[in-house]
Amino acid sequence: MKVFISGNIAPAALQRLEENNISITQWNEDRQITTDELIEACKNQDGFISVGPNKINADFLNASKHLKVIALHSVGFDQVDIEVAKKLNIPVGNTPGVLSAATADTAFLLMLAVSRKAFFGYRKIIDGNWVKYEPAQELGIELNGKTLGVFGLGKIGLEMAKKCKAAYNMKVVYHNRSRNEAAEKEIAAEYLSFDELLAQSDVLTVHTALTTETKEKFSMEVFRKMKSKAIFINTARGGIHNEQDLIKALEEKVIWGAGLDVTNPEPMDKNNPLLFMESVAVLPHIGSATEETREAMAGLIVENILAGLNGEKIPYPIY
């Protein structure tokens, strides 16, 4: 059996695939593979491991009907045309659960970095602008006892909420399509309407999927409903915020700060004004990038691939 991988994955997973007599072809270039190149690369393959934001769209799927399985190297699956995959009966799997703690750590890191203007301070040093002690400049805001608003209280949102409660005794409020009663019991999270969430949150953290409903949900209209001292954190998908509106909201002090692990578009341009703002921290989509988590993700990918190639039901299907 043959599998194409559109990037690098944990070596232990490659070894497991090889031990199962799977012959691997990998995309090794520094740039993201295009859809045409992907179609070509998958032509004679049995399975495909999708690393990065490859478009698993109708064009790709219709040209790749022969694939027995597609395993995503992500929990998110907004890049997949599920209806077409279903119609063509191509199983598609993801990596749920194993990256919740690492991604929540990234959200927490951004929240803290923004609240103390940490990335701006670092830039000040490397730019040679740290000239004297300035007691009245670059003041942050404290998190203790503040309100954390979670937009999308699922596994990752719950991990973030638990960390914020444990570290800063933050009150947790949330908005979901449907209520998370288990989380309400576990951490006393309070369900609010979307507008109430905006009005009450000191830190608003996004942990929802990118869908037609959430696309550019955080626009100027929404930022205007938030507190002027609020911090906006997005570790989910850059497409959930409108980046021009976010820049404007920060420039006009509609909100206080922002921490992003995901940008719109990705990669972010190195001259993007967000990178030069005091209370902003941006990371290059590293939410789940720890040795432990990437290894665990690769483990689920191998399980999806092996099951799919054997014609069995895959253990982590997205539909």
Q: Catalytic residue numbers? A: 237, 266, 285
- Are the C-beta atoms of residues 67 and 44 closer than 8 Å to each other? no
Binding mask 261-290 for ligand DGY (x = CB under 6 A): --------------------------xx--
Shortest separation between residue 96's beta carbon and ligand DGY, angstroms: 9
Q: For residues 7 and 203, what is the distance between their CA atoms, to the nearest angstrom? A: 35
Structure tokens at 154: 């699922």
Shortest separation between residue 75's beta carbon and ligand DGY, angstroms: 4
Ramachandran region, residue 285 (left: φ > 0; alpha: ψ -120 to 50; beta: rest): left
Smaller CB separation from ligand DGY, 208 or 242: 208
Confirm or reject binding of residue 75 to ligand DGY (CB under 6 A).
Answer: yes
Shortest separation between residue 79's beta carbon and ligand DGY, angstroms: 9
Shortest separation between residue 282's beta carbon and ligand DGY, angstroms: 15
Say how many residues touch ligand DGY, by CB under 6 A.
Answer: 6
Structure tokens at 183: 């989380």
Smaller CB separation from ligand DGY, 199 or 286: 286
Stretch of residues binding ligand DGY (CB under 6 A), selected from 9-17, 74-82, 115-123, 133-141 = 74-82
Q: For residues 298 and 72, what is the distance between their CA atoms, to the nearest angstrom? A: 10
Q: For residues 178 and 110, what is the distance between their CA atoms, to the nearest angstrom? A: 27
Smaller CB separation from ligand DGY, 50 or 242: 50
Q: Does residue 267 have a cis bond before it (omega within 30 degrees)?
A: yes
Smaller CB separation from ligand DGY, 77 or 256: 77
Confirm or reject binding of residue 99 to ligand DGY (CB under 6 A).
Answer: yes
Q: What angle do CA 78, 82, 86 make, to 5 degrees?
A: 160
Stretch of residues binding ligand DGY (CB under 6 A), selected from 71-79, 123-131, 269-277, 301-309 = 71-79
Smaller CB separation from ligand DGY, 145 or 267: 267
Structure tokens at 199: 């009005």
Smaller CB separation from ligand DGY, 75 or 233: 75
Of the candidates 6, 45, 50, 74, which one interacts with ligand DGY according to CB under 6 A?
A: 74
Shortest separation between residue 276's beta carbon and ligand DGY, angstroms: 25
Stretch of residues binding ligand DGY (CB under 6 A), selected from 10-18, 23-31, 70-78, 165-173 = 70-78
Confirm or reject binding of residue 76 to ligand DGY (CB under 6 A).
Answer: yes
Residues in contact with ligand DGY by the rule CB under 6 A: 74-76, 99, 287-288
